[in-house]
Amino acid sequence: MTDLPYPRILVKVSGEALMGSEPFGLHPPTVARIARELVAARELGCEVGVVVGGGNILRGARVAGEDLDRSTADHMGMLATVMNCLALEAAIEAAGQPARTMSAIPMPTVCEPYARQPAMRHLRLGRVVLLAGGTGNPYFTTDTGAVLRAAELDADAVLKATNVDGVYTADPKTDPSATRYERITHDQALAYDLKVMDAAAFALAREAALPIIVFSIREPGAIVAAAKGEGHVTVVSP
């Protein structure tokens, strides 16, 4: 297809999304469902990169404390993202689509180390590229890592899969008066201190003029719909 609004996409999936109904870790049927949606986006004609969080296993900022410094905790969280990417890679390949995991933390006996040119080549060859290890540095979230990789890899949009169907004026889980934005600018997202992504991610997206498409991963077919410029989404754009 040549009329896709976003020919190359970077999908950000939270680690929590992989838990499904489980309280911790991975829910294989949920992992398989998300994998099938990523394969469907690839079959649509999109080149697909994926950044996965690690919050279903360990979130560095949450476990850091007096006996565990933040840098060490964040590196532990980055290792959790590698495990998630390997699980998702296996599920994507089981669904019939070639995939490659690339880690910002080199571990060549487990997966490929991340480098821009090999990642671009995998995308051009039609492989789903799973980008593990965050940015490879502590103090940066996987949201920031997703926007960074999207900018590096010349993606046309970041598709941010969340547990809610867009960006709201407040947390809709706690504030029944919260309303959903259809469109909002990066500047507004920063000024209103909206929590769907951290400020560093929004600021980098603004600098790179990258649209962020926010949608609910719980809606069947949501990844494909967002890739087509459709669905129940909020568009954060310049």
Hey, where are the domains in the chain? 8-237
Q: What CA–CA distance (Å, rounded) separates 47 from 38? A: 10
CA–centroid distance for 179 within its chain: 24
Which residues are part of a known binding site? Answer: 12-15, 54-55, 59, 74, 135-142, 162-163, 168, 171
Q: Which CATH architecture has domain 8-237?
A: 3-Layer(aba) Sandwich (3.40)
Burial of 123 (0-12, 13-18, 19+ CB in 10 A): buried
Q: What CA–CA distance (Å, rounded) separates 40 from 224? A: 7
pLDDT at 34: 97
Which residues are part of a known binding site for UMP? Answer: 54, 74, 135-142
Q: How far is CA 47 from CA 68, 128, 226, in A?
A: 39, 7, 14
Q: What CA–CA distance (Å, rounded) separates 116 from 194? A: 30
Which residues are part of a known binding site for ATP? Answer: 12-15, 55, 59, 162-163, 168, 171
Residues of the chain with pLDDT under 50: 1
pLDDT at 167: 92
Question: For residue 46, which of 151, 123, 118 has the smallest C-alpha distance?
Answer: 123
Beta strand extents in 41-85 (DSSP E only)? 47-52
pLDDT at 2: 58
pLDDT at 172: 84
pLDDT at 46: 97
Q: Are the C-beta atoms of residues 142 and 81 closer than 8 Å to each other?
A: yes
